[in-house]
Chain A
Amino acid sequence: MKLKRYVFGIFVICILSGIQDAVAGEKWRMILDLEGRWLFSIGDNSKWASPHYDDANWERIEVPSKWEDEGFYGYDGFAWYRKSFDGTLLKSKTDTYNLFLGYIDDVDEVYFNGHKIGSSGSFPPRYHTAFNALRNYYIPNVYINFGGKNVISVRVYDAEIEGGIVSGDVGIFVNDDDRGLAVNLRGSWDFSLSSKRYNDYHQEKFSSRTNRRPPEEANWIKLSVPGVWENQGYPNYDGSAWYRKQFTVPKELNGDDLILVLGKIDDIDEVYLNGKYVGSSTQHDKLRFYNISAGEIIPSAVNLLLVYVDDTGGLGGIYEGPLGLIKQSEFTRYVRWRD
Chain B
Amino acid sequence: MKTVSIKKLLFVIFIFACAVDGWSQEKEKHTSVSGDWRFILGDNKKFAKPEFDDSDWEKIYVPSEWQREGFRHYHGYAWYRKKVTIDYDKNDALYLELGKIDDVDEVYLNGHFIGRTGGFPPDYFTAYNYNRRYHLPKEYINKGGKNVIAVRVYDEGGEGGIMGPNVGIYNYINFSENSMHLFGKWKFHLDDDLKWGAEHVDDSDWEDIIVPATWESQGFSNYDGFAWYRKSFVLPRSFQIEDMLIVLGKIDDLDEVYMNGKKIGSTGSMKRKWASDNEYDKYRTYAIPDELLKPGQTNVIAVRVYDQTGLGGIYEGPITLLPQSEYKEFWRSYRSQYYPNDFWEWLSYYFD
Interface residues of A (CB under 8 A from B): 206, 210, 257, 259, 279-280, 283, 286-287, 289-291, 293, 328-329, 331-333, 335-339
Contact = CB atoms under 8 A, between A and B. Distances in A.
A202 to B, nearest CB: 13
Contacts of A335: 41, 70-71, 73-74
A279 B124 CA distance: 11
Q: Helix, strand, loop or mixed for chain B's interface?
A: loop
B44 A332 contact: no
B243 interface: no
Given A259-B42, A283-B157, A332-B57, A289 B122 contact: no
Contacts, number: 56
Given A333-B58, A338-B72, A257 B41 contact: no
- Chain B contact-residue range equals 20 to 34
Contacts of A337: 70
A335 B40 CA distance: 10
B58 A332 contact: yes
A210 B124 CA distance: 14
Interface string B59-70: 000000000011
Contact of B42 (A206, A283, A328): A328
B122 A291 contact: no
B77 interface: yes
23 contacts: A206-B122, A257-B42, A257-B44, A259-B41, A259-B42, A279-B121, A280-B121, A283-B157, A286-B157, A287-B73, A290-B76, A331-B40, A331-B41, A332-B40, A332-B58, A333-B58, A335-B70, A335-B71, A335-B73, A336-B58, A336-B70, A338-B73, A339-B73
Contacts of A291: 42-44, 77
Q: Helix, strand, loop or mixed for chain A's interface?
A: mixed
B39 interface: yes
A331 B58 CA distance: 10
Q: Which 10 A-B pairs have the closest CB atoms?
A: A336-B70, A337-B70, A328-B42, A289-B76, A332-B41, A291-B43, A332-B58, A332-B40, A331-B41, A335-B74
A113 to B, nearest CB: 35
A206 B122 CA distance: 9
B75 interface: yes
Contacts of A328: 40-42, 44
A259 B42 CA distance: 7
Given A259-B41, A279-B121, A291-B43, 5 more contacts: A279-B122, A280-B122, A332-B39, A335-B73, A339-B72
